[in-house]
Structure 1
Amino acid sequence: CGWFFDDISGIETVQVLKHACRAVQIAHQLGYDLENDFLKGLSKALCNHSDYTDGKDIYIKLVKTSKVDLKRAIAHYAIVSLLPNNNTKGLPLEKHVYSYTIKEIDCERVHHKHSSLAIGQIKVTSNMTLESEEAVIASLHLGNRDFQCKIGELLSLPEYQKMKTDLMEIFDQESLTQVVRKLDFYFPGDFHSLKDLFVEERRKILAHVSGDIFSRFQDSYFTLYHDNKRLMEYHHELDVPIHREFQKAARFVLSKKLEELIIEEGYVEGEKHYSEDITEIACEAKKWQIQLDHKLSESTLNNLLNTRMDQLKEEGAKKVLLDILRLLQMAEDLGLEIAFWSLQNNYFAIRSDLRHNHQESIGLIEDLERHLNIDVSFG
């Protein structure tokens, strides 16, 4: 039974439709085709969201794409196993993929620069229903986010060995285009890709394959900034407008440096003043007429402040008070946004004990209360 308040595209209804999809899937395995009639009924439920027309559209776009069966579990494993950290020697190998157990009967993987190929025979078993399937797989990584996985029925041992040898030789000697064509020859039909992976692993793989790209972006910004900084300083001295391209690079570099310096401040204890390097970054940003990206710095600083407040609760030491005051002053000077409500709640929980047990630090305590917008005369 499923219902919704105002729109069928809500997360509750989509979740209910996923359960219905699973019921349709099980019925199909038993010889009953319920999906067509079900879709006819869903098409009568109109959607208010501009991205979808009706319940049928939502089912096709949001529900069927999340459907999991044995073949999808096989494709998931075959693609994930191409990543270097997932390669494991020694067979037979068993791995758990969520509610499935994958057993490698045979598998061989080869790598060339930014591409990889895996060919093998595996058996997948559902830990929920105990249904199982054996298949021949061939997964290919063409570089970046381009993964392809082909799944076929079991072959006789001579046929399997011939196919594996053929594909491995082509991968080693020919172009990737030839490899793809040969895969289509041995595995006719559709292929699986990143979109068929379970969500969590899909995100991990995209983060993995895009890491090098964003690292090169970062290096380019740093190079552009440092190689042209003196020239732009000359522009500044002569009151010549700063190039916007340089300003973009400067914003990225200085924002990154600020975040790193704030992290370093977390390792400094008992100091009254924060690093002069932080002040210099603020001055540089002003010189280049840019607004720094404070999002990551603010997150880092708020985490540091909450950590120090927890330490104050446990230790109540003078150096912890100095650390908190230093970080708060830095936030004020740089215009960083602080989640005061969290700090205030934590502070009120220890205020009475702190003032009573640390009279020698009452001046620092009152400074902290002023920074936290707490009336020092209260209580």
Structure 2
Amino acid sequence: MHNYICIHGHFYQPPRENPWLNDVEMQESAAPYHDWNERITDESYARNTASRILDEEGTIVDIMNNYAYMSFNFGPTLLEWMEKKAPDTYQAILAADKESQSRFSGHGSAVAQVYNHIIMPLANTRDKHTQVIWGKYDFKKRFGRDPEGMWLAETAANTETLEILAEHGIKYTILSPYQAKSFRKIGEKEWHHAEGANIDTKRTYLCNLPSGRSIVIFFYDAPVSQGIAFEGLLNRGDEFANRLVGQLDQNRDEPQLMHIATDGETYGHHHRFGEMALSFALHHIEQEKLATVTIYGEFLEKHPPLYEAEIIEDTSWSCAHGVERWRSDCGCNTGGNANWNQEWRGPLRDAFDWLRDQLAPLYEQEMKQLSADPWATRDDYIQVVMDRSEDNVKAFIKSHTSHNLSTEEETKFLKLQEMQYHTLLMYTSCGWFFDEVTGIETVQDIYYAARALQLAYEISGQDYETHFVELLSKAKSNVKERGDAGVTYNLIVKPAIIDLLRVGAHYAVSSLFAEYPEQLQVYSFTATSENYELQEAGRQKLATGIANIKSAITWEEKKITFGVLHLGEHQLFGGVREYIGNNAFNQLQQELSEAFDKGNTSEIIMLLDKHFESHNYSFWHLFKDDQHKILAQVLGQTLQGVEYEFQQLYDNNYPLMLAMKSLNMPLPRPLQLTVSYINDKKFQQALSTNEPDVREIKNLLQEAARMQINLKRGTLRFTAALTVDTMMKRLEKEPDNLKLMQRLIDLLQVLQESPIEPEYWQAQNSAFRLKETVYEKYKQYSQESYAIWCHKFEELYNWLNLKA
């Protein structure tokens, strides 16, 4: 068969890590999830590792890992987050690439990506090389093989970009057909006009470069790709499959590849159940032998290009004006507000370019003083970014310097690398893609610039910040009250800059709520106590101490002295300063302790001002996640009293409320709220136990119906799903536990009859794994015990909407 189909998914999220903490903080807009990475992982990335194929009745007949059947790339910074925060999904993605190699003639389905999604034509030559080197190294480290292809951010390309890809051994890339300039059959002289997507996307094209190198280009089918994103093609898997197959020319003799490329988040996040349409389409095409499902590497090996092509310089897939979307007010936007402009894009890039070009000579000069090759070291620094263990970092420093560095020089070496690292991160394309310069994506890029500025100042003592902010001030906001990007820098970015004293303040405050405060991991910092004293009197606490704060990133250390007073709830007052000797600390500790013993709160606060001067801190200086944790802890204590009052009101008035309901009399609002609150609380407790009491849940459902209670379905749905998931994972470990299996069946039956409607995605995955292992083994045996187990498991399987 000469007809092939390939589906490529570009899976990417911009890096969201706080540049100082090296971790993603809570993002309220992603609620009920912690952050957007977590939310999109649940809605898309994880779903594609175990996508459902349904029969006509809507029963699950198979579960497949889509990544093993499609071509895909993941942003390296997204995979870095996923490795830490979503390891099961991460491992399933790596496993899919391994599985695909056996399916696709030894070629893996994963494709590399330029490291942090910069617009390559707008980067200088040195940064282009680093982006490819880092993307290639990251890929090999994760997938265990060299990449054949590399995805360019926004498919933005020019000749120099393609030259650099080819120089680093990349065989192919994927572009929009609108980026094609001309084409011809290899060996022919005449070029044919291809602008305006006037090119056959079912062919592969060799792009011969001025250097004598070459690279293969796959121009994807734009209309079908657009149809997936915007025309509802994912509403039905069979229609999706038919649209793909329908583009093939059944009368053509030469091999043809029908291939599409879209954002991977389309499958599950942008279009709910889109991953199921994808798996159904791939499964349907293979089962019906409508075409051969393949990936780019396999097709390229079997069918080398017969044609060659030239590209239009400085073009991309999401800007009709080339790459202007990332440097000018070209008119491309997300359509949020017709009255806005994007004139800020040019000044923002100018500011970043100025900063990059100012820091490059500083970097070169300081690295040479440390006897290191500046740019070769930066190209290799990805080895540290991916493994920050002390042994690896020490080995890296040693291998890149010609003499042993002192502790201070090691810190400077690492600060210089981090300065360059953040100078690259500030060019992440999302900063220009959207419509407003003070939006979250642009501000994230400015955070990276701020981190680079901070490091540059610490290394050189030179003020680069003032002029940088002047340049930012030319990037005007569309929101009058926000002024410009310079105002945003001073009001939002600058206050968020973290130094070791700020980390010390966080440690001091959080130590009041920690079980073992002697050593705490504070994101990418370690706080080790040398002296810690805690005094308590009723709700009030006073902590004083000496601690050593060390960065795991730059190895910078600082010894601090602190004192912090907790008055209860979120009322916190504290101070931190550099350690200046035992005498000063002893005086601080004695004065604060004496004031605390006397219960003199105002004196304690005055003493904190006296000893710490401008380095005073409060609850609001805690990092965001810990603010939420402390408030939740305080709220939990408060709610205990509230819940007791509600329970008393409920118990004392229950006969009256029951009588009113029997007469169809509406309950007064305070009593209705009381009934709803108590029922919800009992429901949550009943569903949250390791072994839920099914009869109690049934009684609560009956009570809710009797008292006409509107259940909090969202919360209960989440809790019920989590409980079933937990029980199924336990069953995976204890497959012979028939008692647990029966309890699960009973629980599922009760929930099936309730209005809660939980989703059992994780539980279904567990059951599917059990079927492939234990069930398939047990059903071969004739013993009665095995038959009983299989019968019971089949019942459970059916209740989970799975077909055995």
Give the structure-2-normalised TM-score.
0.40
Contact 1:308–1:323 (CA under 8 A) maintained in structure 2: no
Contact 1:121–1:154 under 8 Å retained in 2: yes
Q: Which residue of 2 aligns with 1:22?
A: 451
AA at the equivalent of 1:218: E
**Matching residue of 2:467:** 37
C-alpha contact 1:80 1:86 (8 A) present in aligned 2: no
The one-letter code matched in structure 2 to 1:332 is Q
- Give the conservation status (yes or no) of the 8 Å contact 1:110–1:116: yes
Unpaired segments ≥5 residues, structure 2: 1-423, 781-785
Kindly indicate whether the alpha-carbon contact (under 8 Å) linking 1:107 and 1:118 is maintained by their aligned counterparts in 2.
Answer: yes
CA distance in 2, matches of 1:243, 1:50: 47
Q: Retained in 1: the 8 A contact 2:524–2:553?
A: yes
Name the structure 1 match of 2:719: 300
Matched residues in 1 for 2:474 and 2:562: separation? 41
Cα distance in structure 2, aligned partners of 1:288 and 1:50: 51
CA positional deviation for 1:76: 1.5
Give distance in 2, aligned partners of 1:81 and 1:27.
Answer: 32
> What CA distance in whole angstroms lies between the structure 2 residues aligned with 1:147 and 1:335?
44
Aligned-partner residue type, residue 235 of structure 1: M
Higher relative contact order (CA 8 A, sep 6+): 2
1:114 touches 1:143 (CA, 8 Å); kept in 2? yes
Relative distance call for 1:327 and 1:53 in structure 2 (3 A) is farther
Residues 1:140 and 2:565 are matched in the alignment:
yes
| One-letter amino acid of the counterpart of residue 35, structure 1 | E
- Alignment correspondent of 2:710: 291
Which AA in structure 1 matches 2:709?
I
Match of 2:746 in 1: 326
Q: Tell me, yes or no, if the aligned pair for 2:717 and 2:758 is still in contact at 8 Å.
A: yes
How far off is 1:354 after superposition?
Answer: 8.9
Question: Is the Cα–Cα contact under 8 Å of residues 453 and 465 in structure 2 kept in the other structure?
Answer: yes
Q: Deviations over 1:150-192 (max 9, x none)?
A: 1345556555434432222222214312321232233333521
Task: State the one-letter code of the partner of 1:245.
Answer: P
Aligned to 1:91: none
**TM-fit CA distance, 1:57:** 4.5
Structure 2 counterpart of 1:278, from 672, 688, 697: 697
Q: Secondary structure at the match of 1:334?
A: coil
- Aligned partners of 1:264, 1:136: CA distance in 2, in Å? 44
Using the alignment, how far apart are the partners of 1:59 and 1:365 within structure 2?
59
* Structure-1 separation of matches of 2:529 and 2:687: 48
3-state DSSP of counterpart to 2:753: helix
For 1:266 and 1:121, the matched residues in 2 are separated by 46
Task: Tell me whether 59-68 or 72-81 shows the greater mean CA deviation.
Answer: 59-68
The question of whether the paired residues in 2 share the 8 Å contact of 1:301 and 1:327 is answered with no
Are 1:337 and 2:337 counterparts? no
1:72 partner amino acid: R
Q: Secondary structure at the match of 1:147?
A: strand
Matched, 1:246 2:671: yes
Q: Distance in 1 between matches of 2:493 and 2:658?
A: 56
Pair 1:293–1:35, CA change in 2 (3 A): same
Aligned residue identity for 2:749: Q
Q: Distance in 1 between matches of 2:627 and 2:794?
A: 50
Q: Do the aligned residues in 2 keep the contact of 1:235 with 1:241 (CA within 8 Å)?
A: yes
Structure 1 position 260 matched with structure 2 position 685: yes
- Give the conservation status (yes or no) of the 8 Å contact 1:106–1:120: yes
| Conservation of the 8 A alpha-carbon contact between 1:355 and 1:365 | no
CA contact (8 A) 2:501 2:578 kept: no
Q: Deviations over 1:319-345 (max 9, x none)?
A: 666444422321122211132566666
State, as a whole percentage, how many aligned pairs show the same letter: 28
What residue is the counterpart of 2:604 in the other structure?
Answer: 179
Pair 106,301 (structure 1): closer, same or farther in 2 beyond 3 Å? closer
CA distance in 1, matches of 2:522, 2:798: 53
In the superposition, relative to structure 1, how do residues 86 and 207 fare at CA in structure 2: closer, same or farther (>3 Å)? Answer: farther
Shift in Å, 1:24: 1.1
Q: Distance in 1 between matches of 2:793 and 2:579?
A: 74
Distance 1:250 1:369 in 2: 36
Using the alignment, how far apart are the partners of 1:371 and 1:127 within structure 2?
49
Residues 1:70 and 2:500 are matched in the alignment: yes
What amino acid is aligned across from residue 297 of structure 1 in structure 2? L
Residues 331, 181 of structure 1: alpha-carbon distance in 2 compared, 3 angstrom cutoff: same
Give me the whole-angstrom Cα distance separating, in 2, the residues matched to 1:181 and 1:226.
49
Q: CA separation in 1, counterparts of 2:652 and 2:457?
A: 64
8 A Cα contact 1:252 1:293, kept in partner = no
* SS of match in other structure, 1:192: strand
Q: Give the structure-1-normalised TM-score.
A: 0.78
Q: Cα gap change, 1:60/1:222 in structure 2, threshold over 3 Å: closer, same or farther? A: farther
Native 8 Å contact 1:96 1:102 kept in 2: yes
- Which of 80, 83, 88 is 2:510 aligned to? 80
The structural deviation recorded for 1:108 is 3.0
Q: Which one of the candidate residues 641, 646, 655 is aligned to 1:230?
A: 655
- Taking the aligned partners of 2:737 and 2:660, their CA distance within structure 1 comes to 49
> Aligned letter for 2:748?
L
Count of paired positions = 365
AA partner of residue 70 (structure 1):
L
Correspondence list, 1:86-101, <5 A: 86-88=516-518, 97-101=522-526
TM-aligned CA distance change 1:335 to 1:67, over 3 Å: same
Distance 1:60 1:226, change over 3 A: farther
Contact in 2 for aligned 1:149/1:193 (Cα 8 Å) = yes
Report how far residue 254 of structure 1 moved. 1.0
Match of 2:17 in 1: none
2:639 is the alignment partner of 1:214: yes
Aligned twin of 2:613: 188
Structure 1, unaligned runs of 5 or more: 89-93, 269-273
Within 2, Cα distance between the matches of 1:157 and 1:55?
45
Q: Is the CA contact (8 Å cut-off) linking 2:457 and 2:464 kept in structure 1?
A: yes
Alignment CA distance shift 1:6-1:143 (3 Å): same
**What is the alpha-carbon root mean square deviation over aligned residues?**
3.8
Instruction: Kindly provide the CA deviation profile for residues 14-52 of structure 1, in whole angstroms up to 9, marking residues without a partner as x.
Output: 443222111111222322112222223333334568995
In structure 2, relative to structure 1, the CA distance for the partners of 1:364 and 1:154 (3 Å cut) is closer
